[in-house]
Amino acid sequence: MRTQVAIIGAGPSGLLLGQLLHKAGIDNVILERQTGDYVLGRIRAGILEQITVDLLHEAGVGAGVDAGGTVHHSIELVFAGTRHPIDVHGLTGGKVVTAYGQTELTRDLMQARAAAGLTTVYEAANVTPLDFDGHQPRVTYEKDGQTHTLDCDFIAGCDGYHGVSRASVKDSITEYERHYPFGWLGVLADVPPVSPHAIVYGNSERGFSLCSMRSLTRSRYYVQCPLDDKVEDWSDQRFWDELRRRLDPALAEAIVTGPTIEKSIAPLRSFVAEPMRFGRLFLAGDAAHIVPPTGAKGLNLASSDVKYLSSALIEYFRDKSPAAIDTYSERCLRRVWKAERFSWWLTSLLHRFPDTQGFGQKIQEAELDYLVSSVAASTTLAENYVGLPLELR
């Protein structure tokens, strides 16, 4: 089998890349080691920057987010028992973010790909990218007991942190990593969000909290917890009680509780692999970088990688020019490190660290007070939150 672009990974970044390339008339095949149901079952990001929403429309799959997404014009910061709104819409000249679950986004992309008759090979085992340092790359994989070879012009590694793409070039990359000394206990519940048109971030002596949403009837809530906590030690009642303690009284009273339908503890870390291009193999999304979820940058950063990569490949096949391909890694990494900086800063500002005692807590509160009382500081937060502009050249 032959294609122009072999895409490894059928998550949102791989599917979005495939759809953008298809719209430009570039043939592509996606290889995924899991089943389609498994891919759809992953519950992750749900806050989309306008850049990501625009890309979905460019790919012809924007109807879902238009119909089911909820626009957020502001964020709210809770500290010292008081809530402070940040007018993101006003401070950024009208920019917003949109709440739309990754499951729904992935389903939209999968359905569009199926409707277009494009090839996706699920349950592809032992996927191996080969010869990408030359002019005739290929990918081998096993399916139904047989070994197959996919010849191609380029390989896009969209298969996440644990995927084969980054592992194939591990000896050629420099990795930067930071682990945080706490985790997030997150729950999903079919209850209306406490703040339908804003994300609420909480800083308290008990630790960080976050009130987010997936829709107007499904909410996503988090509290900071020790890394050695066990999910089974957190009953629904314990979680709701703890969340309330970390918010202002009015918001705590307004929370609608109910049975949780998903509960998990996730560690937080920052990770970047440099470079992101190796001959005719490109890394995109979590294969190249991980950010703490505090700033809601993971899926959006993957989307910007996809925009850079799809534009570069379109230019190559349309104009026979490798210029954008040659600068892909550099352009991506400039944006990656800015997102890493923002995510690190927001994480440091809102969480309780082991050394955040007395003085450290007061410093956090002083910085938060400055943040909500300074237009310049609030604008910096807002413009990073909605997403910095793409640098296409």
In the residue annotation, 170 being an active-site residue is answered as no
Residue of 141, 308, 328, 385 with catalytic role: 385
Rounded Cα distance between 220 and 260, Å, is 10
Element (H, E) at 58: helix 50-58
Mark out the alpha helices in 69-143 (DSSP H runs): 88-91, 102-115
Q: Are 314 and 28 in contact (CB under 8 A)?
A: no
Cα separation of 340 and 335, whole Å?
Answer: 9
Q: Is the peptide bond before 275 cis (omega within 30 degrees of 0)?
A: yes
**139 with 149: CB under 8 angstroms?**
yes
Q: How many CA atoms lie within 13 A of 359 on its CB side?
A: 1
Single out the catalytic residue among 12, 129, 137, 293.
293
- Could you tell me the sign of the dihedral formed by the alpha carbons of 209, 303, 117, 3, in that order? negative
Active site residue 297: yes
Q: Which of 95, 289, 297, 307 is an active site residue? A: 297
Reduced to 3 states (helix: H, G, I; strand: E, B; else coil), residue 39 is helix
Q: Which of 100, 141, 201, 328 is labelled catalytic?
A: 201
Distance between CA 113 and CA 60 in Å, rounded? 10
Query: Please, are residues 267 and 183 in contact by the beta-carbon 8 Å criterion?
Result: yes
d(CA 171, CA 186): 35
Q: Which of 290, 302, 18, 264 is nearest to 180 (CA)?
A: 290
The one catalytic residue in 72, 89, 289, 351 is 72
Q: Is 292 known to be catalytic? A: no
| Catalytic positions | 72, 201, 293, 297, 385
